[in-house]
Structure 1
Amino acid sequence: MEEQEQQQERTPMQRALPGLLIAGSLGGIGLVMVSLLSLAPPPVDDGSGSGKPLAAPQGAPSTVEMSNAGAFILPPTVGPGGKDVPLTPARLDAPPPLAAVPVVPSIPKTTAKAGKTAPKPTRIKIPKIKVNAPIGSVTVSKKGVLGTPPLSKPNRTGWYKGSPVPGETGPAIINGHVSTRSGPAVFDRLRELAKGDQIYVYRSDGKVTRFTVSGIEQASKNSFPTKRVYGNTSNSQLRLITCGGVYNKTTHHYTDNIVVYATLSKKKG
Structure 2
Amino acid sequence: MMNVKIFLIPVLLWVLSGVPSWGQSPDSLQYYLPIQRADSYKVYEAKDSTLYFSFTEHTVKQGELDCRLQDKFQRELASVTLAKEYGQNNYALRLFASGYTGWQEGERYRLVVSDEQGREHALYFKCVKGAVEKPSPNIRMNAVSVDCDRAEGNLVEFLGTVEQGQAPYRVEWLVSTDREGEALLYEPLEATVQRGGEVPRIQLDKAGGYYVTLKVWDLCGQYGEQVAKVDCKANDSDTSVELEWFEQPKKVQPGTPIK
TM-score range, shorter chain: under 0.3
Task: Tell me the TM-score normalised to structure 2 length.
Answer: 0.26
Higher helix share: 1
Task: Tell me the TM-score normalised to structure 1 length.
Answer: 0.25
